Amino acid sequence: MLVMVLRKTLNLKHAFTISRGTKTDVENVIVNLEHNGLSGWGEASANDRYNESPETTINALAAMIDALSGPCDDKQIKELLALVPGQYAAQAAMEMALLDYRGKQLKLPLYQHWGLDPKDMAPTSMTIAMAEPQQMAIHAREASDFKILKIKLGASNDRAMIQAIRAVTDQKLRVDANEGWLDREAAAREIDWLATQGVELVEQPMPAAQLEDAIWLKSRSILPLIADEAFTTPDSINTLQDGYHGINVKLQKCGGILAARQSIEQARAQKMSVMLGCMVESSLGISAAAHLAPLADYLDLDGHLLVTNDPFDGLEMREGYLHFNNKFGLGVTPNQEIMRPEDCPTSKDEDMLEEFS
């Protein structure tokens, strides 16, 4: 099995500001497996919130590639990922590539392999990052194809941002404070006010570490509260049910599709709702999550729509819904205009590619 790893910078359409800071691009890591004429693709979006970087991700991938002898079943995948504990983005990318390969081998899209029906997919929200309120209103208008907007808050002028957006659209709104509200009484007042503005739910209102405050807030919140930064892996769910109504599951955060499925099952057992979310990822990583989308209540799978140079094709967005193309595996192909020839698997340019066999 030939494996290649490459770095890919994704450029953001608009500066992406959340309560923690601003980004204009992200550097993701792409994995490609080649075996018996079939390929498998995976993507890692390393997150510094969880002490990951492209470098730690590439090191973790190298450790797994060293131990990889060929296609894997679920048990072998689990053993492989266990070699790099805590390297969630690398685990997600490696598993994605192996499952993409498996789908192509079985000649099935992955959702079909798992017996899921894309007709059960909810519409996805589109994220509006923090900016000057009038600028956010312009971005909201640009997103008129979507049924739901997810608004990033957690600044001193949160209400002005919501008011500016509400002035231009009746779309359903969700709010993500990204741990930006530090005082629980103030958070409770914000939630009461947001409920009067047609906001459906609030994601990670307060810092993940403040579980006692989350429990207090849940007991009086009239809107559902969703744990994002507070939720990483399936074993963290037990401690979260008192503080949140639901969890935001991301492949890059929990270490891949199989861990995401396990998280969803566990959330259901605790009667918690499930959002399926993403990092800034190309159509590759977003497609991988979308194959699980029929299992989620809320979808926030818009990462590929935030970038100007998506290196993969596969998903289509129509009227707020994601659609698959019925290709096998993840259903994605490299976009030849964006992926330079030296980025493609047949290249021998070793300056750009780190090649393992």
Region near Mg ion per CB under 5 A, out of 47-55, 132-140, 170-178, 323-331 = 170-178
Cα 315 to Cα 279, 322, 324: the distances in Å are 16, 6, 5
Quote the least distance from Cβ 149 to Mg ion, whole Å: 14
Q: Which amino acid is at 33?
A: L
Q: Cα–Cα distance between 106 and 43 in angstroms, integer? A: 21
Which CB, 213 or 228, lies closer to Mg ion? 228
Assess 300 for contact with Mg ion (CB under 5 A): no
Q: Cα–Cα distance between 120 and 146 in angstroms, integer? A: 17
**Cβ-contact 41, 312 below 8 angstroms:** yes
Quote the least distance from Cβ 208 to Mg ion, whole Å: 11
Region near Mg ion per CB under 5 A, out of 86-94, 151-159, 221-229, 250-258 = 221-229
Region near Mg ion per CB under 5 A, out of 67-75, 84-92, 151-159, 225-233 = 225-233
Q: Which of 158, 228, 281, 343 binds Mg ion (CB under 5 A)?
A: 228
Quote the least distance from Cβ 150 to Mg ion, whole Å: 8
Footprint (CB under 5 A) of Mg ion, residues 190-219:
203
Straight-line distance from the first to the last Cα atom of the chain, in angstroms, rounded to the nearest whole number: 6
Region near Mg ion per CB under 5 A, out of 106-114, 224-232, 238-246, 349-357 = 224-232
Q: Cα–Cα distance between 32 and 100 in angstroms, integer? A: 10
Region near Mg ion per CB under 5 A, out of 94-102, 174-182, 287-295, 333-341 = 174-182
Quote the least distance from Cβ 179 to Mg ion, whole Å: 9
Region near Mg ion per CB under 5 A, out of 65-73, 133-141, 171-179, 323-331 = 171-179
Which residue, among 330, 280, 276, 329, has the nearest Cα to 309 in the 3D structure? 280
Binding mask 232-251 for Mg ion (x = CB under 5 A): --------------------
Quote the least distance from Cβ 97 to Mg ion, whole Å: 26
Region near Mg ion per CB under 5 A, out of 75-83, 220-228, 254-262, 312-320 = 220-228
**Binders of Mg ion: how many residues, by CB under 5 A?**
3
Quote the least distance from Cβ 303 to Mg ion, whole Å: 12
Tell me 4's DSSP state: E
Q: Which of 52, 176, 179, 310 binds Mg ion (CB under 5 A)?
A: 176
Long-range CB pairs of 335-342 (<8 Å, 24+ gap) are 335/310, 335/311, 338/309, 338/310, 338/311, 339/8, 339/311
Which CB, 165 or 177, lies closer to Mg ion? 177
Instruction: Count other C-beta atoms under 10 Å from residue 15's C-beta.
Output: 13
| HEC sequence for 27-50 | EEEEEEEEECCEEEEEEECCCHHH
Quote the least distance from Cβ 190 to Mg ion, whole Å: 16
**Cβ-contact 44, 65 below 8 angstroms:** no
Which CB, 81 or 225, lies closer to Mg ion? 225
Quote the least distance from Cβ 113 to Mg ion, whole Å: 29
Q: Cα–Cα distance between 288 and 307 in angstroms, integer? A: 17
Instruction: Count other C-beta atoms under 10 Å from residue 321's C-beta.
Output: 17
Which CB, 164 or 275, lies closer to Mg ion? 275
| HEC sequence for 167-222 | CCCCCEEEEECCCCCCCHHHHHHHHHHHHCCCEEEEECCCCCCCHHHHHHHHHHCC
Q: Cα–Cα distance between 129 and 53 in angstroms, integer? A: 22
Site residues, Mg ion (CB under 5 A): 176, 203, 228
